Structure 1
């Protein structure tokens, strides 16, 4: 006597589960240009590394002899696997079974996936394709009662944000709790044309709000590219998986580990000649910050997040001599690089992300200050700007400020903790103060200009007089800025700094004093 019959029955049920929603529904799903849930998992993880948990969970029908005559698998698949050799947890919706809704799921599987990541201190990746919520009203009809809604495992969802990297991919029409699972992450990505994200789908919106919209019009990429609900867009599901793998390569598996350092073949002493002239002498002429980044950081190491939300601020990961760092910079082509309500939120979230996972931060500053005017005031920009500044002041990870050009006002002053060690270098193009000289002269000398017979000549005279005063060399004489450097020395100096920074990081391992929120 052996247990071979039971193992054969187990294998039979596993095979039934691999058929997902059945041949017809799988074909319909793929006809929409989407991969099946199992193809997604195989495409994301290292080949052959997936170990599934709860494979035969589902709903069975039995005959009078107790034999299974029909089986519908749960529409949520979970397990562990590896990405670039590092272990991760994966939880994925199967849209071919009840459209990914919770009434086709075994709710405990989602909870278990979050618990697995939380307790084993492993990154978790959610491949979301469905509502993940309470399902349709038909479910209520079958059960015979309603219920007070609860978000399953939300204590673990919140807890994981403080412990392990959390990544989410929006891979279909995702609504309600499914949308919340995408947003409750450190990094999220959606796919052009095949994915949409919304609190409620078009039928509910039409009934409740009178807005007759398609899925794309309500929650497609054109909506969320700039909404801030999702970080990045992908051309295809394969592109989304590649972005996930790249994002995770900069982060440790948990807050109890250091970020992974990779071998680098880029000379840490590299000095790019173009840097000496990359900032125009004319302060009114902008420059392209994305052309500067590869001159400073390791080649092919830059991974940008949220490019189109709060676009005046650029946030990305990069490496210096193989060491991962977070990078913030200003894009002069969007609001002059100034702080908007959106870019302030972006800074706050990014700094908190780096703080949570112990990534040193390089801040390339050309900050004209908070954006002014009535639209800005209506958005409460000052409060959101103060929250961003507070995040910088609360951060304990090593931070280096490189002043490329402007540092003005409250916004500029808040780009580094001026009450700490305040490590920083300035380029000779530096220009700073409470407000730009051009605007400040009009304010400070308003009466003189109004009383002058030739206000234009007086203004020109005042500006010429101020030009020498605003020289960064004058500030350095007063030790108002610690060091002005040749821009070509930026990379060597940063590579030396980052090695020192990583010597300090072991003292900071563990959860941050203020937990990370989405």
Structure 2
């Protein structure tokens, strides 16, 4: 006598679970150009590596013999799988069952996925498609009462931010807790024309605030491209999954492991001739920072995050001779690369991300300081700028500064912890001080200029005198800058630095002294 009948029933129930919300709902889902939750998981993970947990959770009806007649699975799938051979936890909403709302599912599965990631010390990937919250007010009728809301699994969500990489993709309309689950991550994605993200949907907004807007107008890609609520916008689900795989390839599985090395054929001693003329001699002319980054880091290794938020600062991951690093750089095309409230928040979050997972940071500095003006004062830029500087000073991961051009004011001074070893190299185009000389001379010599019979001639004379003083070689004479280098030597020197950095990293492993926040 065997247990074959029970095994047969198990297989039958699993087949019912794989039908998700039924053929009609699946067809409707496909008609919107969207994949089902199971198709998404198969596309994201390495082939045949998904091991599902809780497939039999759901709602069943029984016949007179006590056998399951109909079965509606919970609208949340969870399990483990592999991405590029490395194990991860996946938690994914099934929109074909009650639109992803929790009144159509079992919240314990969502909680369990977060617990699994934390306890197994594995990256957490969330594929969010629905509210994922308390469902509609119709659920009150089922329990004949209301309730004080609780964010399920939120203790695990917060703890995981300081322990394992967390990635979230909005793959449909997400609101309330669903939107919060997207934001509570180290890296988040939306899909153009497919995803919308908002605290509450258009109908709630219409009744609560009187705004009559569409989903796209309220929380589409055009809204969030520069809102800072998500990191990257992509064109398709396939591109979203590819970015998830790429993001995770730079990070360790948890804070107790080193970031993964990846063999490269790029040479340590590669010296790109174009770097010698990359910075214009005219200090007012901008240049394309991303082209410089491509010439310094390993070929095809750059992965940018948050391109359209805080646009004056560029952040992302790259590799140096196969070793993952974080990079920051100013974009002189955007307010000369100065620190705005938004770019300051971007720096703070990115440095904390690198600190959490022990990625060394390369900072390419052309920083005129915090952006000035009435609008920036109203945004509290000084406080946000100080938070960014504080994040840099609190970081214990190896950090190196490549000074490309400007270093001025509190913002420029805060691009590296100047009280430590602060390894840095300056290009011959370096230009620094408490204030830019062009504006500083007019302020410092205001009275003389006002009293002069020929203020323009006096100003030109003062500027000529200052031009010699501002030479970076004068600073090097007093060891105010440790090394001025040929720009073409940047990659070889950084490759040597990253080797030292990874030799020191093992002693830094473990949780950071301050938990990473979204």
Structure 1 residue 70, shift from structure 2 partner: 1.2
Listed as ranges, the matches of 1:406-425 within 5 Å are 406-425=406-425
Q: CA deviation at 1:58?
A: 0.3
Map of 1:320 onto structure 2: 320
1:240 Cα deviation after fit:
0.2
- Tell me, in whole angstroms, the C-alpha distance in 1 between the residues paired with 2:134 and 2:118: 24
Within 5 Å, give how 1:194-209 maps onto structure 2: 194-209=194-209
TM-fit CA distance, 1:335: 1.2
* 1:307-339 CA distance string (max 9 Å, x none): 000000000100000000000000011111000
Measured after TM superposition, the shift of residue 247 of structure 1 is: 0.1
Query: In the alignment, which residue of structure 2 is the partner of 1:402?
Result: 402
Partner of 1:216: 216
Post-superposition Cα deviations, 1:158-187, rounded to whole Å, max 9, x if no partner, equal 000000000000000000000000000000
Q: 2:474 matched to which residue of 1? A: 474
**Equivalent residue for 2:72?**
72
Tell me the residue number matched to 1:354. Answer: 354
What are the equivalent positions in structure 2 for 1:8-47 lying under 5 Å apart? 8-47=8-47
Structure 1 distance, partners of 2:63, 2:15, is 20
What's 1:282 paired with? 282
Which residue of structure 2 aligns with residue 186 of structure 1? 186
CA distance in 1, matches of 2:232, 2:219: 14
The TM-score, its normalising length taken from structure 2, stands at 1.00
Give the match for residue 147 of structure 1.
147
What SS is found at the alignment partner of 1:65? Answer: coil
Map 1:254-269 to 2 at 5 A: 254-269=254-269
Q: CA deviation at 1:223?
A: 0.3
CA deviations over 1:319-367 (Å, ceiling 9, x no partner) = 0000000000000111110000000000000000000000000000000
* Partner of residue 338, structure 1: 338
SS at match of 1:103: helix
SS in 1 for 2:401: strand
| Residues in 2 aligned to 1:481 and 1:395: alpha-carbon distance in whole angstroms | 22
Give 3-state SS (helix, strand or coil) of 2:511's partner: coil
Question: Which position in structure 1 is the counterpart of 2:102?
Answer: 102
1:301 aligns with 2:294: no
Counterparts of 2:230 and 2:335 in 1: how far apart (Å)? 22
Alpha-carbon deviation of 1:64? 2.4
Unaligned stretches of 5+ residues in structure 2: none
Alignment partners' CA distance in 2, 1:96 and 1:218? 23
CA distance in 1, matches of 2:225, 2:140: 36
Partner of 1:92: 92
Q: Distance in 2 between matches of 1:35 and 1:501?
A: 43
Question: Structure 1: how far apart are the matches of 2:306 and 2:54?
Answer: 35
CA distance in 2 between counterparts of 1:444 and 1:137 reads 66
State how far apart, in whole Å, the 2-side matches of 1:234 and 1:45 are.
19
Deviation at 1:508?
0.4
Shift, 1:121, TM fit: 0.2
- Paired with 1:120 and 1:316, the residues of 2 have a C-alpha distance of 27
Per-residue displacement from partner, 1:108-151 (whole Å, max 9, x unpaired)?
A: 10011001000000001000000000001111112110000000
- Structure 1 residue 372: Cα displacement: 0.2
What is the aligned partner in structure 1 of residue 157 from structure 2? 157
Match of 1:54 in 2: 54
2:502 is aligned to: 502
**Which of structure 1's runs of 4+ aligned residues deviate more than 4 A?**
none
CA distance in 2, matches of 1:334, 1:356: 29
Match for residue 248 of structure 1?
Answer: 248
SS, match of residue 13 in structure 1: helix
The secondary structure found in structure 1 opposite 2:70 is strand
1:82-102 superposed Cα distances (whole Å, 9 cap, x missing partner): 000000000000000000000
**Aligned residue for 1:132?**
132
> Shift of residue 67 of structure 1?
1.1
Q: Secondary structure at the match of 1:162?
A: coil
Report what 1:391 is aligned to: 391
Counterpart of 2:6 in structure 1 is 6
Q: 1:222-263, CA deviations, whole angstroms, 9 ceiling, x for partnerless residues?
A: 000000000001110000000000000000000000000010
Q: Distance in 2 between matches of 1:76 and 1:142?
A: 21
- Show structure 1 runs of 5+ residues with no match: none
- Separation (CA, whole Å) in 2 of partners of 1:347 and 1:56: 44
Report the Cα distance in structure 2 between the residues aligned to 1:128 and 1:264, rounded to whole angstroms: 34
CA distance in 2, matches of 1:8, 1:89: 28
Distance of 1:252 and 1:291 partners within structure 2: 28
1: CA distance, partners of 2:218 / 2:503 = 48
Whole-Å separation in 2 of the counterparts to 1:137 and 1:284: 59
